[in-house]
Copies of this chain bind each other. A is one copy, B any other.
Amino acid sequence: MQLHEQPIFPRGFLCASRNCGLKPTGNDLSVFYSEVPATAAAVFTRNRFPGAPIVVGRDIIRKGRLRAVVVNSKVSNVGTGEEGIVNAQRMGIAASVELEVPADEVLMSSTGVIGRRLPIELIEAGLLGIRDTLVDEPLVGAEGIMTTDTQPKAVSLPVGDSVITLVGKGAGMIEPNMATMLVYIFTDAELDAATLDRMLRAAVEDSFNMLSVDTDTSTSDTCAILANGLAGPVDEEEFLAGLRAGCIRMTEMLARDGEGATKLLRGTVQGAPGREAARRVAKAIINSPLVKTMAFGADPNIGRILMAVGKCFEVEQDPQRISVWINDRLLFKRGCKTDYDEEALREELRGDPIDIRVDMGMGDGEATAYGCDLTHGYVDENAAYYSS
């Protein structure tokens, strides 16, 4: 699947971004807008303590239609009680008035610190006149939704006559489960809401749901797709393949830019006793702090990979059948260390990405999980995030 070199929007989509005073500098408020009605689907965090925008958003998406998405960073509007719900609704209404679209076709997201009141007055004031600044550059909208991300993230790819564009943010508190941090997907393909929903869930399953920066599941995860139909019908199979490829690419971008990360870590498990087992083990590998620090230190302490597989107690396995590769170099063959070149492996581990592959020799279950290394940067950012 060939990506566009620079992300572009599908026909009829625009965005804008500005600073409304939530952050001292940098954009903290974005809107994404479809010039014509669009079908839509969304998946949200499974965290049992969801933010107010999630509670409101679950209701809004039922209609299967969206015209706009409004997002602020810095304050997440989580743990804010009844006032938080009202503020989420006010945010959607303010955007709908400014963009002249129905209030129940605006999805809102907030990302940032938990437990602080949302400064809704700043957001309402910030939305005034934002319509005049709409542009067709996805990276502009991507900028306003960043928290600890080091760069705005957008990616687009062609599918037949249509385009799929993903705009996302990630960084920390990321092990999505059913969704990711914030990812918005725009397409001019013509697809009904039920089809969109089915395809979104299928694509998310193999991408964002296999992403983990730190095993912590955000209270604000949202992944929404809007299809405005301007490119007409598409081949559904082809579209799903493109959507999945785009989601995996965005997943890798989010993992690679995890808090403090210096490299992308991919864990692939083959020969597992079933697909769920493969997913479980692949996640255990990329989530292991010892595997993650090994990747950071480029220190070939490969026993940690066996440990990570073995700690999945509930997965049927046999140590004598497990083989392990890093970047296609065979390190363990059916439970025993091979005679690999340690210096060459150390060199390999200095690179980016690092691909860990495990063949369990038990069945045909297969899965890939996406993570990053664990570094001083992660500790730094999270030891003082709140106050910064």
Contacts and interface: CB of A to CB of B under 8 A. Distances in A.
Interface of A: 46-50, 76, 78-81, 113-116, 172-173, 175, 177, 214-219, 287-290, 293-294, 296-297, 299-304, 306-313, 315, 317, 319, 322, 332, 335-337, 374-376, 378-380, 382-387
Nearest to A373: B383
Given A79-B337, A81-B336, A215-B289, A49 B306 contact: yes
Contact of A216 (B311, B315, B336, B337): B311
B303 A114 contact: yes
Contacts of A300: 386
Contact of A218 (B307, B337, B387): B307
User: How often does this chain occur in the complex, in copies?
Assistant: 2
A80 B338 CA distance: 11
Contacts of A306: 49, 78-79, 114-115, 219
B303 A79 contact: yes
A288 B378 CA distance: 13
Given A115-B337, A332-B79, A337-B115, A219 B310 contact: yes
Nearest to A117: B337
B376 A379 contact: yes
A105 B169 CA distance: 58
A107 to B, nearest CB: 21
B310 A47 contact: yes
Most buried by B among A116, A306, A332: A306
A222 B29 CA distance: 53
B384 A299 contact: yes
A387 B177 CA distance: 36
22 contacts: A48-B315, A49-B317, A49-B335, A78-B303, A78-B306, A79-B336, A114-B301, A114-B307, A115-B306, A173-B290, A173-B307, A177-B311, A215-B288, A216-B308, A217-B310, A219-B306, A219-B310, A289-B382, A294-B383, A299-B383, A378-B379, A379-B379
A216 B307 contact: yes
Contacts of A114: 301-304, 306-307
Contact of A310 (B50, B297, B336): B50
